[in-house]
């Protein structure tokens, strides 16, 4: 099941990337919208599910929202300073951090890995191949300075994935209900933090309520769908790094769209992706699915 929901999340992410390429919003407005608008989208659905009784759920969801807001801001600064291609070539390293971080959270899994050394070796090989292929797809040389600047984002990305997995333990009554509540709480937290930053940087309410900007909010419908699929995948996976690795295959779906859906009048997402790295990514993902099953 984790494979199915991970693939769905990767497809939705690809659609979101393509749509986002075609909708121009200022970075500050985008940051606010990606939290507030997504929370508002989830709000009506909360009435379909019971309130999550465990306070730990809200603590983790709010923590996750705070970490996401910080990571967003630092990633944006990195994009400005080093370029989006350079940043996107480093962030896949978060998958490896996620793998090892989960071993600390659930140390019992270490003994399970030791009991099946061949399968464990294949899983590690598959994760390594996925990370390597993702880092190569932009063909960007990464400087030490960039890596150090993005290291907090890489580590916190692993923490976010671990939170995604941990929070699913509180899905007692409804798995889907917990996912919807998690989308609302985390997104509201992200939105509030970015709203405070926005006004501190002298942003105006008129820009947030500008009709042209508001009409572009349709792209954010893909975010809660992706978050729900990702959380469902986390629930069924043994290690959250498996989901993180598989979700990043959204790049392959973007390439597929660029090649086979050229008749759709959308601006193409530019990818300097050689076939050998695409094949390595695909092979690594298939190996991960087979080895972890």
Look at residue 110 and give its three-state secondary structure: helix
pLDDT tier for residue 142 given thresholds of 50, 70 and 90: low
* pLDDT of amino acid 158: 93
Model confidence, pTM: 0.88
* pLDDT of amino acid 10: 92
CA separation, residue 186 to residues 30, 178, 288 (Å): 16, 12, 29
* pLDDT of amino acid 160: 93
Of 38-42, 98-102, 239-243, 278-282, the least confident: 278-282
Most confident region among 39-48, 248-257, 266-275 by mean pLDDT? 39-48
Both tokens assigned to 239: 């290690």
* pLDDT of amino acid 237: 92
Look at residue 52 and give its three-state secondary structure: coil
Q: How many domains does the chain have?
A: 1
Domain that holds residue 225: 2-292
């Amino acid at each position: 099941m984790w494979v199915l929901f991970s693939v769905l999340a990767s497809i939705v992410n690809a659609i979101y990337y393509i749509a986002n390429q075609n909708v121009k919003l200022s970075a500050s407005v985008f940051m606010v919208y990606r939290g507030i608008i997504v929370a508002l989208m989830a709000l009506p659905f909360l009435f379909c599910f019971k309130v999550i009784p465990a306070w730990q759920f809200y603590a983790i969801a709010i923590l996750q929202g705070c970490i996401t807001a910080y990571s967003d801001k630092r990633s944006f600064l990195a994009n400005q300073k080093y370029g989006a291609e350079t940043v996107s070539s480093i962030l896949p390293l978060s998958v490896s951090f996620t793998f090892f971080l989960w071993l600390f959270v659930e140390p019992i899994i270490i003994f399970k890995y030791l009991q099946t050394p061949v399968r464990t070796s294949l899983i590690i090989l598959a994760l390594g191949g996925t990370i390597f292929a993702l880092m190569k797809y932009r063909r960007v040389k990464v400087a030490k300075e960039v890596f150090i600047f993005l290291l907090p984002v890489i580590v916190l990305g692993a923490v976010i994935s671990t939170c995604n997995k941990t929070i699913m333990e509180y899905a007692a009554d409804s798995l889907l209900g917990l996912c919807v509540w998690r989308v609302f709480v985390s997104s509201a937290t992200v939105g509030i933090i970015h709203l405070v930053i926005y006004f501190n940087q002298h942003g105006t309410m008129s820009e947030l309520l500008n009709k042209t900007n508001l009409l572009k909010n349709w792209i954010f419908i893909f975010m809660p769908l992706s978050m729900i699929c990702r959380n469902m995948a986390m629930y069924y996976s043994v290690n959250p790094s498996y989901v993180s690795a598989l979700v990043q295959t959204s790049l392959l779906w973007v390439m597929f769209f660029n090649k086979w859906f050229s008749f759709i009048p959308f601006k193409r997402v530019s990818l300097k992706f050689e076939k050998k790295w695409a094949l390595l990514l695909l092979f690594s993902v298939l190996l991960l699915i087979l080895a972890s099953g």
